Amino acid sequence: DAGVTQSPTHLIKTRGQHVTLRCSPISGHKSVSWYQQVLGQGPQFIFQYYEKEERGRGNFPDRFSARQFPNYSSELNVNALLLGDSALYLCASSLRYTEAFFGQGTRLTVV
């Protein structure tokens, strides 16, 4: 069975640029969440989507946005990148209020 897949696995961007990260959930899972993890910290919640609607938003600036498509895949967009946006971005899928399964993450480096 395919797990949660994220692309790309690594990315290097320059300050001020825009980035799009992609996630395909486990088949049958309708909930997708995004988390940011900086070195030495636990993952921090960014967004949750369920049935293509935003169901939760963490404490992140408006430069961060996301959407979920009819096939339940999702994109996370970050505008006007800052050095502090460098992190491991994790996507998780779940049925809804059940255990979440994570992808391998996208390592974003902003230079």
Partner 1 sequence: EDQVTQSPEALRLQEGESSSLNCSYTVSGLRGLFWYRQDPGKGPEFLFTLYSAGEEKEKERLKATLTKKESFLHITAPKPEDSATYLCAVQAEYGGSQGNLIFGKGTKLSVKP
Residues that bind partner 1 (CB under 8 A): 4, 6, 33, 35, 40-45, 48, 55-56, 58, 88, 90, 92, 96-105, 107
| Shorter beta-carbon distance to partner 1: residue 16 or 104 | 104
| Shorter beta-carbon distance to partner 1: residue 4 or 78 | 4
| Shorter beta-carbon distance to partner 1: residue 36 or 78 | 36
Under 8 Å CB-to-CB from 88, ≥6 apart: which residues?
A: 36, 37, 38, 105, 106, 107, 108
Q: Which of 20, 11, 23 is nearest to 86 (CA)?
A: 11
